[in-house]
Amino acid sequence: MKTTEVYILHFEPAYKHARHYVGSTSRGNARSDDHLAGRGSPLVSAAIRAGVAVTFHVIGVGGRIAERKIKQQKKRGPILSAMPKGKKQK
């Protein structure tokens, strides 16, 4: 059985209203490569085209339920107190 990871893409500076994108995947590095090459979500693709720096961070193991909890937490305040070093866009 494949492990599903929950990840955050951090935008610096923020792209319009968004500073983060939260997702989950069982494809690990392939999914991060898709996002960082502009082939992921439309939001991330638009941010990259606009010249925003995007950093990929795996934040834990879990599926869609864990992803939802993080998205709900995001609405209440900061997701993480400090962003760890992650995989930067190419």
Q: What is the pLDDT of residues 30-65, one digit of tens each?
A: 888 898 888 889 999 999 999 999 998 888 888 888
In 10 A of CB 51, how many CB atoms? Answer: 8
Q: Which residue has the higher pLDDT, 55 or 71?
A: 55
The verdict on whether omega for the bond into residue 13 sits within 30 degrees of 0, i.e. cis, is yes
Q: What pTM was computed for the model? A: 0.74
**What mean pLDDT value characterizes the chain?**
80
Burial 15-50 (b: 16+ CB within 10 A, else e): beeebbbbbbbeeeeebbbbbbeeebeebbbebbee
Q: Under the phi-then-psi rule, with left for phi > 0, alpha for psi from -120 to 50, and beta for the rest, what region is 62?
A: left
Contact 15, 43 (CB under 8 A): yes
Average pLDDT of span 68-79:
67
| Rounded Cα distance, 68 and 73, in Å | 9
